[in-house]
Amino acid sequence: MGIAADITDYDWEAAFAALSWQVDLGVTEVMAEAPIDRYALPERQAHTVQKPAALQATANQPAPAIHDAPKLDTAKIAQDLAAACADLASLRAALESFDHYEMKKGARNLVFSDGNPNASLMIIGEAPNREEDLEGRPFVGSTGQLLDKMLAAIGYARGAEDAGKAAYITNVIPWRPPGNHDPDPEEIAMMQPFLARHIALINPRLIITMGNAPCAALLGKRGILRLRGTWAETQGIPVMPMTHPAYLLRTPAAKREAWADLLAVQARLEKS
């Protein structure tokens, strides 16, 4: 409900009485005789309303610059955390406390490692799958069974007490990627300090990198079908790139090449 108003001839008492009367009638809006351009109103008021001196001085000052909140250097945080780890227990704790990795939020468990930490042979895979995420161990299920058979064929086992015949297993990414997607370069790079420290703490005589992600992390290269069977080196340790057991399950014909790679690993370990 509205009512037209003209208060030019009212004193304050008359105006107050008129306002009270209109409120009693249920008036909710006061309208002028002519329409008001609300978009232009601030400009009109700027010419007619005089601000106090203090407010006027403040208004004349330039608006303060708005800066984005400083971004965390997550790579530096990862490097510092990893460098401070003196043993495997502290490395695991550092990963558990590292909350700057989006992939971690969708995973059930941290998949840290399996096998003998004094092993001569270290195997580095890509990232956990669903079974590994549920169990909290790398290389379980059908891929783990195939890997165990491959190791046994050259006289090694993840559970061997003899360090000279034992294998230690981990992944580049310790959390399951959503939808089991292939880790991208940024995801791999953030885990590199932890992986490098993991290798330094185990100090194996030889490393097998299974799949593209560990080759990217340690060798700066991708294309496992081209890299496999060719010796490389990281942190002064010989590296043999191999195809992942999951690939071998999908492509049985590739097992012959994998067997050749295993024989090369066996020969290198026997000489060292």
List, for residues 71-121, the tens digit of each pLDDT value. 668 888 999 999 999 999 999 999 999 988 888 888 999 999 999 999 999
pLDDT digits (tens, 9 = 90+) for 181-235: 888 899 999 999 999 999 999 999 999 999 999 999 999 999 999 999 999 999 9
120: tokens are: 């001569």
- The model carries a pTM of 0.73
- In the prediction, which pLDDT does 106 show? 86
The DSSP call for residue 269 is H
Question: Which burial class, exposed, middle or buried, applies to 239 when counting CB atoms under 10 A from its CB (0-12, 13-18, 19+)?
Answer: buried
Spatial distance between the Cα atoms of 54 and 100, rounded to a whole number of angstroms: 46
Tell me the mean pLDDT in the region 50-71: 57
- Which domains does the chain possess? 1-37 (no CATH), 74-271 (3.40.470.10)
Q: How confident is the model at residue 42 (pLDDT cuts 50, 70, 90)?
A: low
pLDDT digits (tens, 9 = 90+) for 13-41: 777 777 776 766 666 666 666 666 666 65
Q: What beta strand segments (E) does the chain contain?
A: 2-4, 29-31, 114-115, 121-125, 167-171, 206-210, 232-234, 237-242
Question: Is it the case that residue 59 has pLDDT exceeding 70?
Answer: no
- In the prediction, which pLDDT does 1 show? 53
- In the prediction, which pLDDT does 159 show? 86
- The residues near 197 (Cβ < 8 Å, ≥ 6 apart) are 82, 83, 85, 91
Contact 218, 195 (CB under 8 A): yes
Torsional class of 222: left (φ above 0), alpha (ψ -120 to 50), beta (otherwise):
beta
Q: How confident is the model at residue 67 (pLDDT cuts 50, 70, 90)?
A: low
